[in-house]
Amino acid sequence: MNKVTILGSLNVDTILRVKRFPKPGETLPLSGKSVAGGGKGANQAIAAARAGAHTTFIGKVGQDQEGDFMVKQLTDSGVAAQFVQHSSEANTGSAVIMLDSSSENRILIDGGTNQLVTAADVDLAQTVIAASDFLIAQFETPIAATMRGFELAHAANQRTILNPAPATHDVPAKLLSLTDLIVPNETETETLTGVPVTDEHSMIKAAAVFQQLGVANVIITVGSKGAFWQRGQAHGFVPAYKVNAVDTTAAGDTFIGALSSVLRPDFSNLAAAVRFANRASSLAVQKLGAQPSIPTRAAILAAERA
């Protein structure tokens, strides 16, 4: 089974259920409220661990109850958390998620201690990174820390996966040159490449831009439609499984974590790994809450057999 290290964010999510999103100046009643663990990094780590990967996390929380809660969320799912630092300089990251009756979401994030992760914090995990099949990072922690992590991974001949979310126009060319697989959604793809994603032809065009920037392998996720993949000159599209979605918050993170648990470091099974990740994501969207919805490997395999 793969060894995966995740560098990323930890947030406590407050989920507000509404029939529809309010208009400017409008007040609406809630139809429900709950609290769960979240953060793109933590979600992806828990997804990888539950899917069977030996998973280690690098990140930072506050010296508060929320920080203790998030570390417990990791360890309860089998994620090694010895490289999660506790800081008194800020509170643990948090997010407020509005979820409407059609399962669409709007998310507001307070980065908190996630914004304090440094290259020095990453250096502490150098040995683990060097022994990992994949190092995964997102953009909810500082890019300088991600750059250092990807440098360490490449120095050890290990593979890197970048989930460029939230999207930004200011991605250093060096970071992309250190990225072996990039996994954006359609919005992030347009932000990074300038190519609007509307069909498979546009996905091929966007993937070519990524490859020109130095990223050899590309996956573009397009929500309920599925995911496009490109490896070298080979490419394809894997349709999503049709389910009744309840909460799409962790869909993309579950996809990436599950993908990393079965993907070969030479990317030779990229299409099959995308199918496995699609199945995991289809299970996650059928439950409420980011981390509570993430399926286990047994659940994914059972759904595959059904």
- What are the extents of the domains in the chain? 3-21+32-305
- Averaged pLDDT, 55-70: 98
Residue that wins the pLDDT comparison between 304 and 149:
149
Residue 272 above 90 pLDDT? yes
Nearest 5°: phi and psi at 166? -65, 155
Residue that wins the pLDDT comparison between 116 and 102:
116
At a CB cut-off of 8 Å and minimum separation 6, what does 268 contact? none
- Averaged pLDDT, 210-220: 97
Residue 228 above 90 pLDDT? yes
Please give the mean pLDDT across all residues of the chain: 96
Residue 11 assigned ligand-binding role: yes
Residue 253 assigned ligand-binding role: yes
The Cα 155–Cα 253 span in angstroms is 26
Among 97-111, 199-213, 220-234, the minimum mean pLDDT is found in 97-111
Residue 102 above 90 pLDDT? no
pLDDT at 247: 85
pLDDT at 1: 87
Residue 285 φ/ψ region, left for φ over 0, alpha for ψ in the -120 to 50 degree band, beta for the rest = alpha
The Cα 210–Cα 216 span in angstroms is 8
Q: What is the pTM of this model?
A: 0.94
Joined together, the tokens standing for residue 214 give: 């130095």
Residue that wins the pLDDT comparison between 109 and 90:
90
- Averaged pLDDT, 234-262: 94
pLDDT at 91: 98
- Averaged pLDDT, 122-144: 98
Binned at pLDDT 50, 70 and 90, residue 249 comes out as confident
Residue 246 above 90 pLDDT? no
Question: Residue 212, exposed/middle/buried by CB under 10 A (0-12, 13-18, 19+)?
Answer: exposed
- Averaged pLDDT, 235-242: 96
Residue 224 assigned ligand-binding role: yes
Question: Residue 65, exposed/middle/buried by CB under 10 A (0-12, 13-18, 19+)?
Answer: exposed
At a CB cut-off of 8 Å and minimum separation 6, what does 1 contact? 52, 53, 54, 261
Residue 293 assigned ligand-binding role: yes
pLDDT at 182: 98
Q: Is residue 76 among the annotated active site residues? A: no
Residue 104 above 90 pLDDT? no
Class of domain 3-21+32-305: alpha beta
Residue that wins the pLDDT comparison between 306 and 122:
122
Closest by alpha carbon to 55, among 257, 250, 253?
A: 257
pLDDT at 248: 86
Joined together, the tokens standing for residue 61 give: 């929380």
pLDDT at 290: 83
The Cα 144–Cα 154 span in angstroms is 16
Binned at pLDDT 50, 70 and 90, residue 103 comes out as confident
Please identify which of the residues 121, 133, 180, 253 carries the catalytic annotation.
Answer: 253
Describe the chain by its helix, strand, coil percentages, rounded to 5. Answer: 40, 25, 35
pLDDT at 303: 94
Residue 19 assigned ligand-binding role: no
Joined together, the tokens standing for residue 78 give: 């089998």
Residue 242 assigned ligand-binding role: no
pLDDT at 306: 78
Joined together, the tokens standing for residue 241 give: 């499984």
pLDDT at 23: 95
